[in-house]
Chain A
Amino acid sequence: MSLSFDLNLSGGLNRPPQKPYLEEIQDVTVIGAGPAGLSAAIYAKRKGLKTLVIATRVGGQVLDTSAIENYPGFSSISGEELAKQFRNHAGSLGIPMEQQKEVAGITGGESVKTVSLKDGSKIRSRSVIIATGSHHKQLGVPGEGRLKGRGVAYCAICDGPLFQDRTVIVAGGGNAAVEAVIDLSKIAQKVILVHRSQLRADDILVKRMNQLNNVEVHLETPIQEILGDKMVEGVRVIQKATGKENVIKGDGVFVEIGYQSNTKVFEGFLDMNDKNELIVDNQLQTSIPGVFAAGDVIEGPYKQVVISAGDGAKAALAANDYINHIQSGEENKNANIN
């Protein structure tokens, strides 16, 4: 067991809370503190906007990634470390962050929105940037729900160590799946990747996986069912080429088949596509003026750390323009009255 200490608490914790944001109107309230949310907060704060971040978990999904090798400036960095850099950067600007807070919904006035939290508090803000990210998609096959936590897992970095010297199956064919295979191959005795179509992971990762001698790959092989009585015992699959069914044995199934946007609380308020991703315009504004969105939560095929960070910057700049615009509008109105 190699030891490290991934401290992510900050000083001032548990000091008497000073929460002026409950009274003051914010310029920008960012919901979410992954790469999109923190990048948005950094840009907004640097524009001089009164910025608040509300998050369940600072760092977001980056924290679930063992190594990130495609974020410019870092040829290889652990997810934990990159999240820390983002957090420290935002922290150095003095951006207030409300952690472990969940948003219940947004209601929109024309110039001021209200963000309601599940703890009952309400935040008023001229603009809102939604960067709530996404969560693991489920396979949706029989056995998956029943065996969740009994061999069916969604976080290789968390649950991998529990499968030492066992056989594990990874479902999926993208970067996340192949990375999981590479990580698990160091712990498990054997790793079997099973994917319904062809691999779409980066070539560099596929090559690395192919060099491992305890990895087996089954493509064009959809999983029909996860088998097991009390614990996972394997998966029932169909081989597309022959139409034949067979069973692949394993002690665990890691599901890495992509992500589902975290948009549930915005249903009925914001327009979404058929994948429940938020629909945005080219300024990343949602169907409600003044409400912007960035990162994995918005429509679009590519979910990457660097894309989320870029989106966050764009949304913050758009929010800044929006605020300037409504403020100059208000001034004109006042001028007319006078």
Chain B
Amino acid sequence: MQILTEEVKTQLREILEAMKNEVHLALFTKNGDCPTCEETTGMLKDLEDVTSKVVVHYYDLEKNQQEASEWDVKLTPSIVVLDNNKMYHGIKFNGIPAGHEINSFIKTLLEVSGAGAELPPEAQKRLDAVSTPVNIKVFVTLGCPHCPGAVEKAHKLALSNPHVSSEMIEAQTFHDVSNKFNVSSVPKIVINDEYEFVGDQPLEVFLEEIEKVHMPS
């Protein structure tokens, strides 16, 4: 099933020229009740046409339990982003990164390929102090223009500290998860299932919330 239009593919070709190293994507789908699994598979197949630097591995959540547990995959569709050495940096997209979210997805590919800019030194210093696990969930909808900015920041933080993991969660597809976290505005950011804020806030706000986990007051 072709998902990306020729126009989008042409644009992507140009943008993804900037990719430095290969990026591996592990896509988890499942048979049966899985809205957007088929579309996400189609999207990643289209992406493989666009660039040889993206290598997709197709997994089934039920059949490939070992891989799923290695990367802590519980939802489908879910895209795990791995670097050229197939190393996991804690970055996942749960649900199809379509609509506005394609922007955070492509940005993340560039970042993980090694073509990204460094975090500002001050921010990196604060992040380096984090030495216990931090999980960032970013709830989005595909029509939300503010959401990709929040996803990019969270993923960048994950990429810049091995203790930080970050996952985009498409709120409409994963209705139950978003209900559990009372998501009624997006982007909604939840840290370690406990601390939360709404909106594409500056990096400092992300760091402040992370520090709350790290150094509970």
Contact = CB atoms under 8 A, between A and B. Distances in A.
Contacts of B197: 149
Contacts of A295: none
Interface stretch (B21-29, B72-80, B84-92, B179-187): B179-187
Given A3-B39, A5-B4, A14-B116, A161 B103 contact: no
Contacts of A266: none
A75 interface: no
Contact of A232 (B14, B145, B184): B184
Contact of B144 (A7, A9, A13, A155): A155
B141 A158 contact: yes
A230 B182 contact: yes
Interface size class of B (residues with CB under 8 A): 35 or more
B160 to A, nearest CB: 15
Given A157-B143, A162-B186, A11 B14 contact: yes
Interface size class of A (residues with CB under 8 A): 35 or more
A157 B18 contact: no
Contacts of A80: 100, 145
Interface stretch (B59-67, B129-137, B170-178, B206-214): B170-178
Contacts of A5: 4-5, 8, 98-99, 102
Interface of B is mostly: loop
A133 interface: no
A162 B178 contact: yes
B167 to A, nearest CB: 18
Interface in A10-61: 10-15, 17, 57, 59
A179 to B, nearest CB: 14
B208 to A, nearest CB: 16
A236 interface: no
B144 A158 contact: yes
Nearest to A59: B145
A266 B4 CA distance: 43
Kindly name the residue among A5, A59, A152 whose own CB sees the greatest number of chain B CB atoms within 10 A: A5
Kindly name the residue among B15, B116, B146, B184 whose own CB sees the greatest number of chain A CB atoms within 10 A: B184
Nearest to B199: A149
A9 B184 contact: no
Contacts of A148: 185, 198
Interface of A is mostly: loop
A161 B143 contact: yes
A231 interface: yes
B99 A10 contact: no
Nearest to A8: B103
A64 B145 contact: yes
Given A80-B100, A251-B184, 16 more contacts: A1-B36, A1-B173, A7-B106, A9-B11, A9-B15, A10-B15, A13-B15, A13-B107, A57-B146, A64-B145, A153-B185, A158-B147, A159-B141, A161-B141, A231-B182, A252-B184
21 contacts: A5-B5, A5-B98, A5-B102, A7-B15, A9-B11, A9-B103, A13-B15, A57-B145, A57-B149, A59-B145, A148-B198, A149-B185, A150-B185, A155-B144, A155-B146, A157-B145, A158-B145, A159-B186, A162-B171, A162-B178, A232-B184
